[in-house]
Structure 1
Amino acid sequence: MSSVVPFPPSVPSATAGLPPIVRVDPADQVGVALRPLVPGEVLTVDGGALAVIDPIAIGHKIALAPIAIGDDVRRYGWPIGRATQAIDAGRHVHSHNLATKLSGEEPYRYDPAPVIAPVAGRTRGFRGYVRSDGSVGTRNQIWVIPTVGCVGRTAQRVAMAAAKASGVDDVLAFAHPFGCSQLGDDLDGTARVLAALACHPNAGGVLLLGLGCEENQLSALLERLPPERRDRVRSVGAQLSADEYGDAARAIAELGEIAGADRRSEVGLDALRLGLKCGGSDGFSGLTANPLIGRAADAVTAAGGTAILTEIPEMFGAERLLMARARDEATFDRLVTLVNDFKRYFLDHGEPISENPSPGNVEGGITTLEEKSLGAVQKGGRATVTDVLGYGEQVRRPGLVVLEAPGNDAVSTTALAAAGATLTLFSTGRGTPLGSPVPTMKLATNHGLATRKPGWIDFDAGAVLEDGLDVTAAALLDRICAVASGEPARNEINEEREIALWKRGVTL
């Protein structure tokens, strides 16, 4: 007869073995299977026997007590939906008997909760590139940024030709399909993100490559850059140039001479800007990798650094946890507006706000958006929410920052980089090779993924279930500092470094 224990387990599996089920909060009526459960198996729950009735896959939920039709079902101590039928103890709890309660915009009341301030652990730091504006890069690269999709391939060819000749870490091109046939706020969003990327501390130099006839004019984009950044930026207009490849090569050579003189120096964790992301989530995301990322975010913010949390639709159902940690009422109001505006964005397009989770999420054990959100927001740890940024805005103050962007992996990782993240932590239970302009460390939620896809995974967060959060977080922080100091992340080794822009308007 096996036991069900609260999370995290207090006994390492090396001595006692993991239990078959994890219950996150004592109020939860469901547990999560750490291994497949078979009908007829008997578990011990709250001192009594629980017979497994249905086959339950790893990462999926089992009812620990009877649940009446219409009752809230809790996981993480919060409702993750409502039972659509009576559920006997021992039954599989999933999309066949559990549905979301989310519907639309909601009223929120400013009711700040006592914030448990993260405590800084042992002193850590990394070797980074200190820029003239005080920001610190984890890389020293030259970025080629096209103003418009028409010269996206040209930008890639320019970067490939220059990559071996430059004295910097790398020369990278970030092609995209936009910059023309856009209007108003949609065009402004594209220009804002590209300008923000041109100011990124990981870019020791930037070449802006324009066409000439596009809506996103090169001259207007240059005007968006602060004066102190322009000595690290060159531009080439392809239509006006007799030889755009030669002009681009000369511009990159100039930038290479400037950036090639930069050197790494010792800095503290206060200099790190950490992007927080999840994708291809499963039933373990909220048990292992996301809480682990939260510990890393806490360590960085406690040291005076910045952690950036985005994917606003994957906060629906858990947003109050973040709102209660707003630094003041003005920050709370901005967060409320951001959440409700995003819900209105769905509704105005005739879409339910609860369409998430994805098919892969559902197969991995996540049933409702509330469940996904409650696991996802754990990436933000326990720090105070110090600021709320619009899409394309850059970080203004340290602490935990909430950034406007959708859940889409490519769009949100790009938004994190544009906001200033110099390294991104990306949890995944299903696996993905996707990368962003900055080192994008993939944390596997389970041992199986880490073993099966070692070419994608930077860190096995499944160790949380064996060693606990504190021990595993210490190991993760060491790895973060190594990557921030120049050790390549898997996305860099695999040359998975792309951008994707959020297209929200009409196309001409």
Structure 2
Amino acid sequence: MPETLADTAARPRDAVRIAAQDDVAVALRALESGEDVEVDGQSVRLRDAIGAGHKFAVTPIAQGAPVRRYRAPIGVATRDIAVGEHVHTHNVATALVGERAYAFAGPQAGAETRAPAPARSFRGYVRPDGTVGTRNELWILPTVGCVGRLGERLAQRAGNAPGVDGVHAFNHPFGCSQLGADLDGTAAIIASLALNPNAGGVLLLGLGCESNQLDALLERIPPERRTRLRILRAQSEGDEFAAGEALIAELMGLMATDRREEVPLSKLRLGVKCGGSDAMSGLTANPLIGLMADAVTQAGGAAILTEIPEVFGAETLLLERAANQEVFDKLSELVNAFKRYFLDHGEPVSENPSPGNIAGGITTLEEKSLGAVQKGGLAPIHDVIGYGERMSLSQSPGGLTVLEGPGNDAVSTTALAAAGATITLFSTGRGTPLGSPVPTVKIASNHSLAERKPGWIDFDAALALDIGMEAAAAALLDRIVAIASGEPARNESNDERAIGIWKRGVTL
């Protein structure tokens, strides 16, 4: 596993190199051409101006040689690169190819671990099945886009009620004109969202003639989980609005007696995600999220990692943590299947990073992935689940679950909530207001973003550069506990809640 700032002392600096094996350092501020910069006790004279978050060479790199960051190749040099030169897309190219064969070496007896965090608790809503919600909300889930606006209107009119943290409708354009696995994915996501512990009550809202039929959807939900669920078929009602309001009032009456109670951190289901990343994400925010994943899993809780295309080039780091052969085989097949998904559509597997990522200093998908996988911490991988599936705590006690899903922010945060995440940590270097059905905690990778967008950002991970990773981790865990106990995340304060469904098939 690559080293991070957690392994270094916090001290003022202009640039940082993660490991002695690395060929590059990352500028922590804008640097001028001709400036002398100290890196690991060595003075490097810059040949180019280097933007904050961008890289420069600290060793000579020959054309065709691998360029290393995080102790691993992030691509190959397309020409000779001298010490002090800017290292980016103009002189480095990806080395990623398609599918690969992987071999299981057995559970890693010497795998890295971290010391357990102090015991913590939060105030959550305990559900009859033993799961715990961080919110007690009423969710309106349309089966089809035709009634999406009806759901939103019902939510707007619902008002407040004792014991209910909010009423939210999650509109989407799908549920009809879909076939086969594509339709199945939509149904799976809606049904799994209905089972999230943050939903103290659920109204399944259908039209009547859609492909995503309510009766078939209801069969995906165990009978014992239907006591807080109501269904509305809009075409069958003379006044669908009045019928919906009556069902919402009924659910609110059931939810009125729900109360928060103190529960251990082991009851938290933590989703981890990144979006609008920059080169600082892999130095500050993602390692910090990894520490949070370890704190939760070491307490006996569970963490969920997705965005499979953003592990390409770093997948071996995850495969080394597979708990057994079965998990290894499922994970390696998932990675290769996602590569086939790209290739079958005539797209290269390396069509990433985004323009914003590149502007922020990320050069290749390998570099992006090596930073991104740090969000999963060091916990063993106990399970691999498909898109729309729910995490099983019995299969993943104190471990990491890997979830099939793309990198798209709306789609992947929705998939995390459907899998059972009750709070999601979302790192960002460029910034985004996006929120999912569950609290979506935005963690800035740099001071500039946190200062410019305080209405979007919940935590400034660049504090790790000032006070050290351990102190920053303690502060972030305090923030997570507060949000899990009811303090609103920025996305909730801004009423930024939405879902995105992965559309993979034809449209009729």
Fold shared per TM-score above 0.5: yes
What residue is the counterpart of 1:91 in the other structure? 85
What residue is the counterpart of 2:168 in the other structure? 172
Structure 1 segment 385-424 matched on structure 2, within 5 A: 385-397=381-393, 398=397, 399-424=399-424
Structure-2 separation of matches of 1:439 and 1:44: 41
Structure-1 separation of matches of 2:390 and 2:190: 12
What residue is the counterpart of 2:132 in the other structure? 136
Asked if 1:110 corresponds to 2:104, the answer is yes
Structure-1 separation of matches of 2:130 and 2:385: 20
Contact kept, 8 Å, 2:277 with 2:429, in 1: the verdict is: yes
Shift of 1:469: 1.2
Structure 1 segment 442-461 matched on structure 2, within 5 A: 442-461=442-461
Using a 3 Å threshold, how does the CA distance of structure 1 residues 135 and 274 change in structure 2: closer, same or farther?
A: same
Contact kept, 8 Å, 2:4 with 2:283, in 1: the verdict is: no
What residue is the counterpart of 1:55 in the other structure? 49
Could you tell me which amino acid in structure 1 is paired with residue 146 of structure 2? C
What residue is the counterpart of 2:70 in the other structure? 76
What residue is the counterpart of 2:483 in the other structure? 483
Structure-2 separation of matches of 1:300 and 1:77: 27
Using a 3 Å threshold, how does the CA distance of structure 1 residues 201 and 170 change in structure 2: closer, same or farther?
A: same
What residue is the counterpart of 2:32 in the other structure? 38
The alignment's C-alpha RMSD in Å is 1.3
Could you tell me which amino acid in structure 2 is paired with residue 94 of structure 1? H
Contact kept, 8 Å, 1:310 with 1:406, in 2: the verdict is: yes
Could you tell me which amino acid in structure 2 is paired with residue 84 of structure 1? T
What residue is the counterpart of 1:145 in the other structure? 141
What residue is the counterpart of 1:185 in the other structure? 181
Structure 1 segment 124-273 matched on structure 2, within 5 A: 124-165=120-161, 167-273=163-269
Could you tell me which amino acid in structure 2 is paired with residue 456 of structure 1? W
Q: Is the partner of 2:236 in helix, strand or coil?
A: coil
Q: 1:22 aligns with which of 11, 16, 21?
A: 16
Give the alignment's TM-score, normalised by structure 1: 0.97
Structure-2 separation of matches of 1:245 and 1:44: 67
What residue is the counterpart of 2:494 in the other structure? 494
Structure-2 separation of matches of 1:436 and 1:427: 14
Contact kept, 8 Å, 1:9 with 1:468, in 2: the verdict is: no
Cα deviation 1:313-343 (Å, max 9, x = unaligned): 0000000000000010100000001000000
What residue is the counterpart of 1:440 in the other structure? 440
Task: Tell me how many residue pairs correspond in the alignment.
Answer: 500
Using a 3 Å threshold, how does the CA distance of structure 1 residues 242 and 109 change in structure 2: closer, same or farther?
A: same
Shift of 1:7: 3.7
Structure-2 separation of matches of 1:178 and 1:241: 22
Q: Is the partner of 1:479 in helix, strand or coil?
A: helix
Structure 1 stretches (4+) deviating beyond 4 angstroms? Answer: 8-13, 45-48
Q: Return 72-81 or 47-56, whichever deviates more.
A: 47-56
Contact kept, 8 Å, 1:22 with 1:34, in 2: the verdict is: yes
Could you tell me which amino acid in structure 2 is paired with residue 455 of structure 1? G
Q: 2:362 aligns with which of 362, 366, 388?
A: 366
Give the alignment's TM-score, normalised by structure 2: 0.97
Identity %: 64
What residue is the counterpart of 2:94 in the other structure? 100
Structure-2 separation of matches of 1:201 and 1:49: 54
Name stretches of at least 5 consecutive residues in structure 2 with no aligned partner: none
What residue is the counterpart of 1:319 in the other structure? 315
Q: Is the partner of 1:126 in helix, strand or coil?
A: strand
Could you tell me which amino acid in structure 2 is paired with residue 483 of structure 1? I
Structure-2 separation of matches of 1:129 and 1:357: 39
Contact kept, 8 Å, 1:11 with 1:466, in 2: the verdict is: no
Structure 1 segment 288-367 matched on structure 2, within 5 A: 288-367=284-363
Structure-2 separation of matches of 1:167 and 1:383: 36
Structure 1 segment 1-12 matched on structure 2, within 5 A: 7-8=5-6, 10-12=8-10
Q: Is the partner of 2:263 in helix, strand or coil?
A: strand
